[in-house]
Structures are given as structure tokens and as C-alpha cells.
Chains A and B, each alone.
Chain A
Amino acid sequence: MERRRIILSGSGGQGVITAAIILAETAILYEGLNAVQSQAYGPEARGGASRSDVIISDTDILFPKVVQPNILVCLTQEAYDKFSGLIRPGGFLLTDSHYVKQNEKIDARQIELDMYTEVMNKIGKPIVFNICVLGVLITFIKLVNPKSIMKVLETRIPPSFLQFNRDALDLGIKMAENYSAKVAG
């Protein structure tokens, strides 16, 4: 498989680091792949532009950081302004239109979806925003199976919150599918 070099970015508290850990753990435990995850630990981890790197591969991963992502997710304008220049030409860049205004000069396949607003309208819990983003991401780019993500969530989340997460993941998957259908149609 082509090595996936992913940066998930946003502001502290949006859950980008949790999403990165869930994605990497899913790849390792349920997809038979290799993955590493790391994150910026500086003051930026508490507000400002927070960032987590994930590499997914079917071979050994030695250098653990992402220098030039082929997949980039930006959930705030600050994160977009800071990291969008890093993307590998032709890479995949996902933003949330509630937070980010995209710049047309970026050489990437840029997709924006109003994930935050949808999560608030349909589920009403901002805490599962990151899971919706994951749902969108894994639908556009085949990284891991959604069922595997739910298996990881089951080990990490109190049972009373599982349904919100399941709904958020499904919402993300549907948003991505609808977007693709619209583009194709």
C-alpha cells in the first residue's frame, strides 16, 4: 500500500489527538497494519494550532514524524494557515467550513464540509465532532474499516456515550458519500 502520512490539526480541545490515536490504534489492532502516532506537546497543545501526526503503512515505520503529509485535516483557520503549506502536491486536504475558509492556491484536492454544524444539528454534542471527522476521512480515503473504529471506541469510551460516537461516525460517512455522489452526479 501507499504509505499514508497524515496530519490532523485543529485547536486544543477539538479532539484531533484523540482522533489520531483512535485511527492509528484501529490500523494496528484490527487492520493488520503498522502505524505510529505522535503529537506536538508544546503550549500549542492547549489552544492555538494543535497537531498530531499519524503514519499508516504495511511496512516498518522508522522516522515517526510527518514532514510532508499526503493527507491533511485542518479544523481551524489557524491550523489551516499554519499547516496547509506542508501538504504534498496533489494530496488530500479536508477542512471544516464552519471554521476554515480555504485558499484556492493550495496544490491539493481540497474538500470542505460543514461537519461541526451537522454534528450540532443532528447530535447536539460537540464532543463527538472529531469522530464525525474520522468518518468523513475514512470514507474519502480507505484507511480503516468503520466497524474497526467502533471496536476501538468500545474499549475507550463509557457505554453511555457509545451511541453518540456511532451516530457521529455514521454522520461523517454519509456526509462524505453524499458529497461524492453530488460530485459524480
Chain B
Amino acid sequence: MKKDIVFVQGNEACVRGALYAGLDFFAGYPITPSTEIAELLSEHLPAKKGKFIQMEDEISSMCAIIGASLTGKKVMTATSGPGFSLKQEALGFAVMTETPCVIVDVQRGGPSTGLPTSGSQGDVMQARWGIHGDHAIIVLTASNGQDVFAMTVEAFNLAEIFRTPVILLLDEVVGHTRERLVEPKAGEINVVERLRTSVPEGTDYHPYLPREDGRLPMSDFGGTHRHNITGLAHDMWGFPSNKPDVVYGLMHHLVDKIETHVNEITRIKEFFVEDAECLLVSYGSAARTALHIVKNRRARGEKLGLLELQTLWPFPARLVRERCSSANHIIVVEMNMGQILGEVKKAVENPERVFLANKIDGGFITPTDVLNFIRITQGKGV
């Protein structure tokens, strides 16, 4: 038996990825189908001298990880739709205060308490626009345990690099399916550590003055430098300001620091894309079904391909436009009513070639479901 191979759920792959990335602090409130993440971390995090707190609710969990992050810790919380809704206000605070943190949303059927034990991908737009105010955000997803591990590490890295909350959007099927995970060895995946200021004690530290490369070195709150942190629009000192030039600079900084780095943030997987006449675009658990079909149909000589998105936001519009350019049909496979469909339609030329293959009844989208949609687009009927 090889020691680095384990048989675990996607949720456990997330836990292992978080520990690999150096998670120090987790605060959460258990909710199906994310509960295994909290359950496992309650055991493993204290064992490596980290802190695990089961909070009284999701709001306080989100607030707790923000506080811990500001003191210099790598932090995460995990939840599902109803809890993710509750976290939005504090998530906005993390965006405004540029606090690195990772929020895992293992999606289930919604709205409200919805379908606690069923898979869904209904939170894609909530992850993008759940909080008020103009902003940019990073949202990652994954379709299998191995990718969940890698994307969890990636989420921590991007949170540090861009000083932003990163949302890891999993779903019930990926979270609960048990499969093989080959645990990467230390050093195999790059782990980004916090960029701390080199400003010495007694010298003015500007917490919100970006360097030339746009990054903002941090100073552990309660440590060397006294500074202010507020959800109000603020100046480079972190003090509230409503001066138009200050607000303008801040808003542009918050959006541009992410939107101008789309290429750096984009993670995709491509399968037979180049000569695909019918190109499927999918992500998360639905991408498993999509790839199943693509591989089966390729074996019969049909020119199907799959573009699997692992970064959902910022949406890689230019890349999607380019990859879709020569396909006759583009079929977005997702378990919602077309949340990424709209983005693909916006991105491509001739959006009338883009169709939706979806499932929203709580069941997992099957190869037959998708094939039926493909047949319709080909004029063959079901």
C-alpha cells in the first residue's frame, strides 16, 4: 500500500488541501453537505496547533476568520447555501478591508433551506454578486477530489497574493463522492505565504498604500504597527474618507487588482477542444458528466470537446471566446438555470449557438440528460 494514496470524500480532500496550504484557523457552523469539513478540521487542526472554533452561527464564523486573518493567520470557513447567504455582509467587509480568507460553499439545492442533501450549482451568481457594492472577487471550483485538493491550495494562494476573500464553490456530489486522492508531497504544489511589510517599528506604515505591483504588504494586527481597519471607504491610512479622489482610487484598486489579472487567476482544463464541432463548457461535478460523454463519443469518432472551468470569477471571457470560436454548437452543462450560460453567451461571437444542458430537480445530471440536449441542438430530437 502506497502511503500517499488515500480514499476520501471531496470534503476531506478540501480539508487536506487546506492543511497543506498552512491553514491556522477555522471558524464555522456545520451544515449539510459541508459538515465533514468542520468535523475533520475539529480533529486535525488542533493536532497541528491550529485553532478550530465552532461558532454560534455562520455570521460570527465569517467575522471570526476575518479577525484571525488580520492578526496574520491563514483562515477558512465552510458552509452551504443558507450559511453562505448569512456570510454575505461580513464577506463584503473582507472585500473592503482586503482581508485574505477562504470561504468554502458546498452547494446544495436552494433557495432557502431548499434541498439539504441534493447537489446543485445554484450559488454561482451569489458567489459573484451576493454582497452589495461594486467589487471583484475570485471564485474557484473543482470536479474531483484531486482537483479539490489543488484548488483549495490555490484558493489560499490567491487570497494571499490578491489580499481578497476567495470562494471555493464545491457541490454536494463532489463533496460527498469518495475517490482516490494522491496526496501531493510538501513542495510539490507552491504555497504562498503572507506578504508582510518591511516597514520597521516606529516608522509610518500605510496599510492601504499599494506597492508598484499593486500588492499591499500586511502588518499583523495587534503587532508592530498601529493601524485602522474599517468597512467604510478609506484612505491609505485605513481611516474613513469620502473624498471623491480617494474613493475613486479605492474602487478602482478593489476591482482592478483582480480584473486586470484574469489570465493569472484563470484555471481551466481542456479535453479535445481544438477540433470540437460541439464544445461542452462545464465546471464542478457537472463537468464529470460532460467529460464522460466527450470521451465516449470521441471513441465513436464524434467531434465533442470539453472546456472545464476551474476559475468561475473573474470570468475568463476572452479565453472562452477564443476556445469557442470554431465550434458549431456550444453547450453549457450546469446544475442551475443558466448562471454560467449567460456569461458564455456574453463572451462568444454568435451567441445563438450557445445552449444550456441543465438539471434542477435535485438529481445529478446524467450522461443521458446531456445527450438528449445535444441531440436537440443537432436537430435529431430525443
Task: Tell me the A residues contacting B by CB distance below 8 Å.
Answer: 21, 24-25, 28-30, 34-42, 61-65, 67, 151
Closest to B288 in A: A62
Knowing A29-B1, A41-B117, the reply to whether A63 touches B7 (Cβ < 8 A) is: no
Q: Is the interface of B mostly helix, strand, loop or mixed?
A: mixed
Which of A30, A34, A35, A63 gathers most chain B CB within 10 Å? A63
In the bound complex, how far is the Cα of B9 from the Cα of A36, in angstroms? 9
- Select which of B7, B117, B179, B364 is within 8 A of A65 by beta carbon: B364
Knowing A28-B180, A35-B180, the reply to whether A62 touches B291 (Cβ < 8 A) is: yes
Task: Tell me the B residues contacting A by CB distance below 8 Å.
Answer: 1, 5, 7, 32-33, 117-118, 172-173, 176-180, 285, 288-289, 291-292, 295, 364, 366-368
Is A36 a contact partner of B366 (Cβ separation < 8 A)?
no
How many A-B pairs with Cβ below 8 Å? 60
Q: How far apart are A37's CB and chain B's nearest CB, in angstroms?
A: 4
**Which 9 residue pairs spanning A and B have beta carbons closest together?**
A41-B117, A62-B292, A63-B292, A25-B7, A37-B178, A36-B179, A62-B288, A64-B177, A38-B177
Is A37 a contact partner of B177 (Cβ separation < 8 A)?
yes
Q: How far apart are A180's CB and chain B's nearest CB, in angstroms?
A: 30
In the bound complex, how far is the Cα of B145 from the Cα of A35, in angstroms? 12
- Select which of B33, B118, B179, B366 is within 8 A of A35 by beta carbon: B179
Residues of A within 8 A of B117 (CB): 40-42
Q: Is the interface of A mostly helix, strand, loop or mixed?
A: mixed
Is B179 a contact partner of A61 (Cβ separation < 8 A)?
yes
Is A62 a contact partner of B295 (Cβ separation < 8 A)?
yes
In the bound complex, how far is the Cα of B117 from the Cα of A151, in angstroms? 32
Beyond A35-B7, A35-B180, A37-B177, 4 extra complex contacts between A and B, CB < 8 Å: A21-B7, A28-B7, A37-B7, A64-B179
Is A41 a contact partner of B366 (Cβ separation < 8 A)?
no
Residues of A within 8 A of B368 (CB): 67
Query: Would you give 19 A-B contacts (Cβ < 8 Å), ordered by A?
Result: A21-B7, A21-B178, A24-B178, A25-B7, A28-B5, A28-B7, A29-B5, A29-B7, A34-B180, A36-B178, A36-B179, A38-B177, A42-B117, A62-B291, A63-B288, A63-B289, A64-B173, A65-B366, A67-B366
Residues of B within 8 A of A41 (CB): 32-33, 117, 172, 176
In the bound complex, how far is the Cα of B119 from the Cα of A42, in angstroms? 11
